[in-house]
Amino acid sequence: MSIDMEQFHQVFFEESFEGLDIMETGLLNLDNGEADDEEINTIFRAAHSIKGGSGTFGFQSIADFTHIMETLLDEVRDGIRELTHDGINVLLKSVDCLRMMMTAESDGGDIDDSEVKTNFDALQNILGSSDSPSDNSTAEVADTTSDVPSAWKISFSPHKNFMQFGNDPARIIKELATMGQLTGHVDTKNVPDFVDLNPENMFLSWDMELKGNVTKEQIDDVFSWVEDESDISITALSKNKEKTQNTAKKSQDTKIKAAASQAPVKSAAADKKEKSAPANSSIRVGINKIDDLINMVGELVITQSMLSMLGEDFNMTRLEKLQEGLIQLDRHTRELQESVMQIRMVPISFTFSRFPRMVRDLSEKLDKKIQLVMHGENTELDKTVIEKIGDPLVHLVRNSIDHGIEMPEDRIAAGKPETGTIQLNAFHRGGNIVIEITDDGKGIDKDVIYNKGVEKGLVEAGSKLSDQQIYDLLFNPGFSTATEITDVSGRGVGMDVVKKNIMSLGGAIETHSVKGQGSIFSIRLPLTLAILDGQSVTVGADNYIIPLVSIVESVQPKKEQLNMVAGKGETYKLRDEYLPILRICDLFNIPDAKADKLEDGLLVVVEADGKHFGVFVDDLLGQQQVVIKSLESNYKRIEGISGATILGDGSVALILDVPGLIRMSD
Amino acid sequence: MNRFFISFLYKTGGLFTREMNGVLNMALILTVDDSASMRQMVAFTLKGAGYDVVEAEDGQKALAASKTKKFDLVITDVNMPVMDGITFIRHLRAEANYKFTPILMLTTESSADKKSEGKSAGATGWIVKPFNPDQLLAVVKKVIG
């Protein structure tokens, strides 16, 4: 029976990458001195599983590499060896190396052999031994030169408790019978009288003779599981006359086998080149989420059959029942939708888990003392959002390490603890997820940024800016305040990309800082990208959806509060603020807009980039959840429109992209 | 029609094979491993050979499963979180229902002390990792036919 092992590779890679993360986290904890015996056990277990799996699924190089890590970890676990800081460094590098090998195997890249060799040697160095794992070939050859008699005398007497280990003497005798010609007799002299007979015990023993070309090792193998629960003696009856001849033949066999075992290695390497296409990404879902879903579908089907029964024989007297059914259908659909969305949700720890290592490596490099504190790792976010938020977070944390936290001596001079703290927090607020990166470093010097902004021509000298506006300068392309460019951060590329990435996820970033005390970068993200709470509005004959998150309020404009500003268009004075007005009908050239004069329509006040605008529409319809369909993949990209959705009556409504609208009106 | 099918699926947890188990008299095997890929490989191999398989991811879950049905063979990994294989074997062997059931250890540890530790806990035998599906089947056939 041949089984295609490749079908298990995806799962194997997933759990191995997870195992590597576990090892990394464990090693970092060890380094911080927070570890106990269970920690080292966990690390060992992860290495052990990777080794077992990689051997089974045909990744020999990974298995060999993990073997030596496992040996080292085993010694640490048994207390034979103390793990030093340098030792942990070597192990961490080895984890990186394994990750590289695993990535190469899963995505079809190349393994950097020199990297593997370096790490392998470093591990070997710690172990201080030179025995290579592939040294057993000589032993095998030696085996085959042992004597092969033509018959064996086997006496087999199982102990009383033999069967209590799940053993079965018949199995052993059957197996022996397959190896050659088996004769013998059963000894029943120990069987007690019937009244004393305990059927759970074993009273029989056997004397057998096995003829055929069988080695002692083969027979030992049959008895290997029961050595401890039985007395076994195996003696040769007569020497094989053709012994020398036989031996010669055997060793030849071994050579052929050895040659054959090298061949698959080459073809495996060739295979690897072919499968360069990365595997489909998959998602791990808790069984309870799937159960909820099945439950929900069951309910939906029941409601559906109830409604169809009602429909077959409908009259007005059953109207109430119909309405009841429709309400039920509505509820089940909504619940089903929520459950499906739940499946895409993964905890943010997937992203957070990389930071302990990063903070450790960077602080070591910069000679700073930094501890990382994380909260809310179990906060769940849409998988796409999780994937896209990783890089911006890395950048912000790097930034905090490099520019935020001071050198230990500066911290002591400033009366702060020597060790700086970086906090990562994730939590729900409203319909959003908020991720905060907090450091207790030197904070952002507003004057420096302001002057730099002036110098770069981003700000007019002498103009008055709010704190937030000053901080926003940080996210401008090409803006860097670091006097010296380090390879950690400070090239000025990045912060603008950070902001762009967050905006593309429909999120926003805010900065707060107190000079001398530290900074907080706060990222706000929507829970999901697939569904959006929207306000539907009409302009002319068309429906549009405005995302609810960007709406501040809606007002009916009064004539006396309208102004025309030369060169800047219309504004509306709302309380103390003058809002620029965006007319949808003008922006999209809608000819038959109902409301021509502003006082006939409505003004939806929206917020983008910290500024308020009034979007002028004919009428407001209602709030609803809409499923976002990409306009780009179904039609083409349109400025000011972020997507489309299908409304209850089957018509298409376009979803307005508020920041895009503002850019259009500029 | 739909409705009955769904409710049937729901009630049986989609596992009709379990219902048919009595009819076809397939041997029922419990495989215990914290690594999903190993578990799937073992289960797939055994199912392909006509056995009925239940999976568990650690000793504790396996022990719970062993109380819900009677397995004809138990194949367990040794290194597992929550409850390791050796402890699991010791507990299982103490159950009246599993006094004579073959229990195999699935382990990379080919060293003698792990084997003897497992044996004294009550294991019947062992299969050393790495192994291929054919080797696994050969051992399973040897033990339960």
B56-109 confidence digits (pLDDT tens):
999 999 999 998 888 999 999 988 888 888 999 999 988 888 888 899 998 776
In percent, the amount of chain A with pLDDT more than 70 equals: 85
Tell me, yes or no, whether B2 lies in a domain.
no
Residue ranges making up the domain that contains B133:
25-144
Closest CA to A382 of A295, A506, A533, A291: A506
Q: Residue A84 — very low, low, confident or very high, per pLDDT cuts 50/70/90?
A: confident
Which chain A residues touch B41 with a CB distance below 8 Å? Answer: 3, 5, 8, 56-57
Tell me, yes or no, whether B12 lies in a domain.
no
**CATH number, residue B61:** 3.40.50.2300
Does residue A181 surpass a pLDDT of 80?
Answer: yes
A9, A24, A70, A167: which is the annotated catalytic residue? A70
Highest mean pLDDT among A101-115, A322-336, B5-19: A322-336
Give pLDDT, residue A82. 80
Q: Residue A424 — very low, low, confident or very high, per pLDDT cuts 50/70/90?
A: very high
Q: What is the tens place of the pLDDT at every residue in A513-549?
A: 888 889 999 998 877 666 778 899 998 888 999 988 8
Of A42, A63, A171, the CB nearest to B143: A171
Q: What is the tens place of the pLDDT at every residue in A460-475?
A: 887 788 888 888 888 8
Tell me, yes or no, whether B97 lies in a domain.
yes
B10 has a chain A CB within 8 A of its CB: yes
Q: Which sign does the torsion angle of CA B8, B12, B15, B19 carry?
A: negative
**Of A455 and A543, which is predicted with more confidence?**
A543
**Of B5 and A383, which is predicted with more confidence?**
A383
Does residue A205 surpass a pLDDT of 80?
Answer: yes
Contacts of B47 (CB under 8 A, 6+ apart): B53
Contact A545, A535 (CB under 8 A): yes
Residues of chain A contacting B, Cβ within 8 Å: 1-3, 5, 7-9, 11-12, 14-15, 42, 44-45, 48-49, 51-53, 55-57, 63, 163-168, 171, 175, 200, 224-225, 228, 294-295, 297-298, 301-302, 304-305
Task: Characterise B110 by phi-psi region: left (phi > 0), alpha (psi -120 to 50), beta (else).
Answer: alpha
Size of interface A-B (CB pairs under 8 A): 114
- A560 as an active site residue: the answer is no
Substitution target in A3, A174, A308 with the highest count of B β-carbons within 10 Å is A3
**Does B101 sit within 8 Å of A55, measured CB to CB?**
no
- A70 as an active site residue: the answer is yes
Planar angle of CA A240, A245, A251, nearest 5 degrees: 110
Contact A97, A65 (CB under 8 A): yes
Tell me, yes or no, whether B66 lies in a domain.
yes
Does residue A252 surpass a pLDDT of 80?
Answer: no
Give pLDDT, residue A127. 80
Residue of A nearest to B4 (CA): A302
A9, A24, A48, A395: which is the annotated catalytic residue? A48
Local structure of A561: helix, strand or coil:
helix
Q: How far is CA A1 from CA A8, A91, A194, in A?
A: 17, 40, 46
Does residue A557 surpass a pLDDT of 70?
Answer: yes
**Does B99 sit within 8 Å of A3, measured CB to CB?**
no
CA A528 to chain centre: 17
Q: Tell me the C-alpha distance between A401 and A165, whole Å.
A: 59
Highest mean pLDDT among A252-261, A412-421, A493-502, A640-649: A412-421
Percent of residues in chain B assigned helix, strand, coil, to nearest 5: 55, 15, 30
Q: Tell me the C-alpha distance between A431 and A433, whole Å.
A: 7
Substitution target in B5, B35, B51, B120 with the highest count of A β-carbons within 10 Å is B35
Tell me, yes or no, whether B106 lies in a domain.
yes
Written as six digits, the tokens of A225 are 């599981």
**Number of domains present in the structure of chain B:** 1
B58 has a chain A CB within 8 A of its CB: no
Q: What is the tens place of the pLDDT at every residue in B101-130?
A: 899 998 776 666 777 888 888 888 888 888
**Does A52 sit within 8 Å of B130, measured CB to CB?**
yes
**Does B124 sit within 8 Å of A165, measured CB to CB?**
yes
Give pLDDT, residue A38. 81
Q: Residue B18 — very low, low, confident or very high, per pLDDT cuts 50/70/90?
A: very low
Local structure of B73: helix, strand or coil:
strand
DSSP E strands in A445-541: the ranges are: 508-514, 518-526, 531-539
